[in-house]
Amino acid sequence: MTEPENAAQSAAQETKNDKPTLPKDVRVRFCPSPTGTPHVGMVRTALFNWAEARATGGKLIFRIEDTDAARDSEESYNQILEALRWLGIDWDEGIDVGGPHGPYRQSERTDIYKDVAAKLLAAGYAYESYSTPEEIKERNLAAGRPAEFGYDGYDRDLTEEQKAAFRAEGRKPALRIRMPDEDIAFDDLIRGRIEFKAGSVPDYVIVRPNGDALYTLTNPVDDALMEINVVLRGEDLLSSTPRQIVLYRYLEALGIAKTTPLFGHMPYVMGQGNKKLSKRDPESNLFNHRDAGFIREGLLNYLALLGWSIAPDRDVFSMQEMIEKFDVRDVKANPARFDLDKAISINAEHIRMLDADDFLRRSVPYLHRDGVVSADSWDALTEREQAVLTAAAPLVQPRVRLLGEVAGMVGSLLSTDGYIEPDDDARKQLKDSAGAVLDLAVATLEGVSEADWKTDFLHETLNKALVEDGGYKPRLAFGPVRVAMSGRRVSPPLFESMEIVGREVSLARLRGLREHL
């Protein structure tokens, strides 16, 4: 190892030494709420948890937090499963896999939360709170505080008589956790030491007056019972961490939790204009990227770069390589920006690394969607379609960045049409000489036999006729021929395309464009 490599390794180790040591048997979890279409921030969370589990030989537990009946949907639940399966992110316990800590949907764990809430109340860690939001605002204003200042602890020490009076009014209490009057500090796996001053976090609700348990209770209870010891989640949840730490203390005291997990808060993913990437942003929607033609390897590679890197001078890597190098303590705390152009560039690299057969099989659903082949699977294609695509693969694969671009590249090769209407940008590049060039090309190629209709011979023949003898510059010579063959400004290599399409159709297209100039 060189001196710079030694120094870099030492610096990295010193950084890790400033952060907590990971448990021997890492147990992480991915616990989304089914409230919309899967987005890239959610997938980045799943990816980092998955990578940490695989890198350490630990376990990834996948559960669904679906206690918000007004927002949760079965459609979203199924989309989350579809997203993880498409991406190849697997898990060791949880949904559809099972395990010792089920059920793994919160909507099926209601009795568990009621039992834990009752124990917290009986032990004095939680208390009944009868204050309405309006009363809290009024008390804040009366005390000279802003109306939205938050809960003021009014119900902490209600007497039994006061509670009885509230019940007599028909009120039902919420349950709040009693926060200690002390600073709360923890060592974040990504951000280092974080402290919250005493009094900065008010007593918070864990059960609504109607008896419904809130995320503030269900999430830590599930983590405790599922023995999660490393919690990797978004920076937006950092403010709730002191509440969870206090609740863990109480759960440990009650024998419900074995330990308080380590926390790591991943950086925001930013979109356009220095704003946090919103679920409403089109580039946030995972399935938009899949529909455009991202492959799982390319998209996961790019999402891994949103806060982490495998090496200072390297952006492209496989998931196996990520597993070998990943340590959550190397994740950067600074916000990461989602750059679609860079994501597409990385995806192009991964497309080029696919075996030709794999590339074709993955492309077929997009080709069928775009109407250029007869079926959505390779085995169901016609023999001609398979033959054309097999010949086209080495021409197209190095030139596309997304699988959604393949149809535009091979559509003209699969078509038997004698004339292809040029795209606007292709027609605009045709010069005044295009007609004469096409006339000369047709006259030259009519003399080429079917047997000689091969890439190299076509190249030599047209180059001699149009460039050497005709005096046209290559761009002016071959541009009209390319537009005639594909209708596009950018297409697969010209002479290889002419061989694939064949003599009869090629000549018909040259004549067809000439007639439509």
Distance CA 469, CA 453 (A): 21
Q: pLDDT for 355-410, tens place per residue?
A: 999 999 999 999 999 999 999 999 999 999 999 999 999 999 999 999 999 999 99
- How far apart are the C-alpha atoms of 190 and 505, rounded to whole Å? 61
Q: Do you know the residue count of the chain?
A: 517
Provide the 8-state DSSP code for 466: I
Model pLDDT for residues 425-474, shown as the tens digit of each residue: 999 999 999 999 999 999 999 999 999 999 999 999 999 999 999 999 99
- Give the pLDDT band (50/70/90) at residue 178: very high
| Residue 279 annotated in ligand binding | yes
Confidence of residue 57 (pLDDT cuts 50, 70, 90): very high
Give the DSSP letter of residue 429. T
Quick one: tokens of 358? 């794999």
**Amino acid sitting at position 185:** A
Kindly write down the DSSP assignment for every residue of 32-78, as one continuous string.
---SSS-BHHHHHHHHHHHHHHHHHT-EEEE-B----TTT--HHHHH
270 pairs with which residues across the strands?
276, 337
Q: What is the pTM of this model?
A: 0.91
- Write down all domains in the chain, each with its CATH number in brackets: 18-95+267-353 (3.40.50.620), 108-266 (3.90.800.10), 355-407 (1.10.8), 424-516 (1.10.10.350)
Per-residue tokens: 51: 């990578």
Instruction: Output the pLDDT for position 68.
Output: 86
pLDDT at 322 (0 to 100)? 98
- Output phi, psi for 188, to 5 deg: -75, 135
Q: Mind listing the pLDDT tens digit for each residue in 206-229? A: 999 999 999 999 999 999 999 999
pLDDT exceeds 80 at position 12: no
Give me the pLDDT at residue 69, please.
81
Say how many CA atoms lie within 13 Å of 66 toward its Cβ: 21
To the query of whether residue 279 is one of the catalytic residues in this protein, the response is yes
Looking only at the bridges linking them, the beta strands covering 262-266 and 230-234 are parallel
Give 39's strand partners.
Answer: 285
C-alpha to C-alpha distance for 20 and 28, rounded to whole angstroms: 15
What are 135-145's pLDDT values in tens digits? 999 999 999 99
Q: Which pLDDT belongs to residue 275?
A: 86
Q: Taken in order 107, 112, 118, 120, is the CA torsion positive or negative?
A: negative
CA dihedral 114, 116, 118, 123 (to 10 degrees): -170
Task: Decide if pLDDT at 3 tops 80.
Answer: no
Residues 486, 412 contacting (CB under 8 angstroms): yes
Q: Where does the pLDDT of residue 8 fall: very low under 50, low under 70, confident under 90, or very high at 90 and above?
A: very low
Report d(CA 454, CA 305) in Å as an integer.
45
* 7, pLDDT greater than 60: no
Q: What confidence tens digit (pLDDT) does each residue in 95-125 have?
A: 999 999 999 999 999 999 999 999 999 999 9
pLDDT value, residue 17 = 53
From residue 366, give the alpha-carbon distance in Å to each of 61, 360, 374, 405, 410. 33, 10, 11, 9, 12
- Within 10 angstroms of residue 48's Cβ, the number of other Cβ atoms is 26
Q: What pLDDT score was predicted for residue 16?
A: 54
- The Cα-based distances of 438 to 419, 426, 430, 511 in angstroms read 13, 15, 11, 7
Q: Which is catalytic among the residues 114, 163, 276, 279?
A: 279
User: What φ, ψ does residue 151 adopt, rounded to 5°?
Assistant: -65, 140
Residue type at 51 in one-letter notation: A
The rounded mean pLDDT for the chain is 94
**Percent with pLDDT over 70 in the chain:** 97
